[in-house]
Amino acid sequence: MQSNPWLEAFQKNVSDLIARSPAADVERNVRAFMTQSFSKLDLVTREEFDIQADMLSEAIKRTNALEKQIQALEMRVTALENDKG
């Protein structure tokens, strides 16, 4: 597509007009307000949440494996106690 100087100038003027309009100020003010509000909350990023979720999943798997291991050891102890008695 060929470059049209008039169209480019028009787009630039519209962009400049929007940047100077009250809408741009409102957007900046809303963005600043939201950023300030979110910073006061105890929020985590999605990446941090996913990392913690993965760590929790691994901890649950490890806990389940340890529970099975304890049950097996308890069964062995009970069997040894029954053999002595």
Which pLDDT score is estimated for 77? 96
Length reported for the chain: 85
For residues 16 and 63, which has the higher predicted lDDT (pLDDT)? Answer: 63
The pLDDT tens digits of the residues spanning 3-12 come to 678 778 888 8
Q: What is the 3-state secondary structure (H, E, C) of 45-84?
A: CHHHHHHHHHHHHHHHHHHHHHHHHHHHHHHHHHHHHHHH
Which pLDDT score is estimated for 52? 97
Q: What is the pTM of this model?
A: 0.51
pLDDT grade for 1, boundaries at 50, 70 and 90: low
**Where are the chain's structural domains?**
1-42, 44-85
Which residues are within 8 A (CB) of 44 and not within 5 positions of it... i.e. 6 or more apart?
A: 52
